[in-house]
Amino acid sequence: MNIKSQKDFFAGLMFLVVGALFAIGSTNYNVGNAARMGPGYFPMLLGILLAVLGVAIILYSMVHNPAHGIEGDKVGSWAWKPVVFVLGANLLFGAALGGLPSVKFPALGLVIAIFLLVAISALADASNQPKAMLKAFFIAIPITAVGLTLGAIFPKFLGWIGVIPFLVLCVFLTVAFTYGFFEFLLPTVFMRLNGSQKFQNVMKGYAAVAFAYGLYLIFTSANQTQLADGLGFLAEIEFKVILAVTLIVLTPKLAAKIGFTDHNAVQLSLLISSMCFLSVWAFIDGLRLQIQMWPTFITG
């Protein structure tokens, strides 16, 4: 076996082994299918994708690449500090998530476990000092609290404002979400659309037509309650995405406005908050996994 890049080979081997272990471990849970996903579905899918990626990287490591140099990309000495912090952070995450009954260590829940995971693993980078970690904690706490609180409110809108206003809200969120998505994506892919007034007019026209069509569907629907159930599921996801993006965009601006100049702490806080949003909304709210979100001394 002729390895051209040792770094790529061992990185691919690591992905392959970890992915295979994830996929094998997921068989201990109910996997289900794409229509009715069980708790083992996502870990198995992720493990398979990770293993396939590992195989691809291993094969790539055996192909000569000029970037690897004449002697190939050699593996250097072990970076023990990153290894200790990264592995330690993952072990602490598992302990905080599920607790350690044998030593009477209580389960701290998903949110606090993610805070600890990001903060400890970030210390593997020498540029991240403990002081920055503490600052990131204090910034991430209100962002995460506001995001998770507002995200949990959306399903209650139906009872608060009634069926028709709720449907109008769902249509508005869908139009706003798709408008923002294409407004960002298309100019990124097709550079000539960047700053194009014609493109802006087309997008505004799309928003107006889409909103009008949504209203038409609402007022011609024979069963508006059933329509609210269908649109509400999609609109809740869109609401949470828009909410998360808004908080992530506003946080650096607010930090700069009050004179907070530690950009590293701001970035770490946004990473913590983003991981909390994704984990809670995807696994607890979306897949309905039986994962504890907060410590029992908070929830009772």
Beta bridge partners of 105: 100
| pLDDT given at position 36 | 67
Mean pLDDT along residues 210-236: 91
**Which residues contact residue 178 at a Cβ distance below 8 angstroms, ignoring those fewer than 6 apart?**
210
pLDDT tens across 142-167, in order? 999 999 999 999 989 999 999 999 99
100 phi and psi angles, rounded to 5 deg: -130, 85
pLDDT tens across 7-19, in order? 788 888 888 998 8
| pLDDT given at position 245 | 92
| pLDDT given at position 28 | 79
For 300, other C-beta atoms within 10 Å of its C-beta total: 5
Mean pLDDT along residues 260-288: 87
* CA separation for the pair 109, 292 (Å, rounded): 5
| pLDDT given at position 276 | 93
Mean pLDDT along residues 76-84: 75
pLDDT tens across 97-135, in order? 888 888 888 888 999 999 999 888 888 877 777 787 888
**Lowest mean pLDDT across 168-182, 206-220, 224-238:** 224-238
